[in-house]
C-alpha cells in the first residue's frame, strides 16, 4: 500500500504544480473544478483499500489534499487555518474520514442490493446470520442498564 500511496501522492503533487502555473488566469470556480477533476478524484480512487493502514500511509494523501486546498484558496504553506479551510469553506473530509465514508457507502449499497454481485456476496446483515440475531438486542440491553 505504501507504493500505491507514494504513486498517488507524487502524481497529485505533479498535477498541482502544473495547475499552479495557470492559477493566475483562472477564477476560483475553475480552479476548484480542475483540482477536483485531477487531484481529489485520484485521492479518492480505491481509497477503501487504505482502511486499517498506518497513519504514515494516509498522511501522504492528506498532504496532497492540504496542498490542493492551499492552491484553491491562494494561501501559503505556513499560513494558519488550513483545517478550517478544508472543513468549513471547501467542505472536504480528511483522508481517514474519506476512507470511512467510502466503506460506509459501499456497505450500504451492498445491504440495499444496489452494489455489484461480487461485493454483495461478501456482506450480510448480522440479523440474517444464524446465531447472531440476538446480538444487537443483547448489546442494547446491556447499554441501557
Per the listing, cell 504514515 goes with 56
What nine digits make up the cell of 102? 467510502
Terminal Cα-to-Cα distance of the chain (whole angstroms):
43
Quickly count helices (H) and strands (E) in the chain. 8, 0
User: According to the model, what pLDDT value does residue 135 have?
Assistant: 53
pLDDT tops 80 at residue 102:
yes
User: According to the model, what pLDDT value does residue 131 have?
Assistant: 63
Tell me the per-residue pLDDT of 63-78, one tens digit each, with 9 for 90 and over: 999 999 989 888 777 7
What nine digits make up the cell of 19? 495547475
Spell out the domain ranges in the chain.
2-114
Of the listed ranges 25-29, 34-38, 80-84, 93-97, the least confidently predicted one is 80-84
Mean of pLDDT values over 38-59:
89
Mean of pLDDT values over 1-22:
91
Amino acid at each position: 500500500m505504501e507504493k500505491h500511496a507514494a504513486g498517488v501522492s507524487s502524481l497529485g503533487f505533479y498535477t498541482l504544480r502544473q495547475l499552479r502555473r495557470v492559477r493566475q488566469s483562472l477564477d476560483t470556480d475553475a480552479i476548484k473544478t480542475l483540482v477536483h477533476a485531477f487531484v481529489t478524484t485520484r485521492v479518492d480512487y480505491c481509497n477503501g483499500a487504505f482502511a486499517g493502514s498506518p497513519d504514515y500511509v494516509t498522511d501522504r494523501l492528506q498532504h496532497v489534499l492540504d496542498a490542493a486546498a492551499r492552491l484553491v484558496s491562494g494561501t501559503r504553506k505556513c499560513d494558519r487555518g488550513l483545517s478550517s479551510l478544508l472543513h468549513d469553506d471547501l467542505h472536504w473530509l480528511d483522508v481517514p474520514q474519506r476512507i470511512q465514508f467510502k466503506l460506509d457507502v459501499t456497505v450500504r449499497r451492498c445491504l440495499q442490493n444496489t452494489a455489484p454481485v461480487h461485493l454483495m456476496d461478501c456482506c450480510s446483515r448480522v440479523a440474517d446470520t444464524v446465531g447472531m440475531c440476538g446480538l444487537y438486542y443483547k448489546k442494547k440491553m446491556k447499554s441501557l442498564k
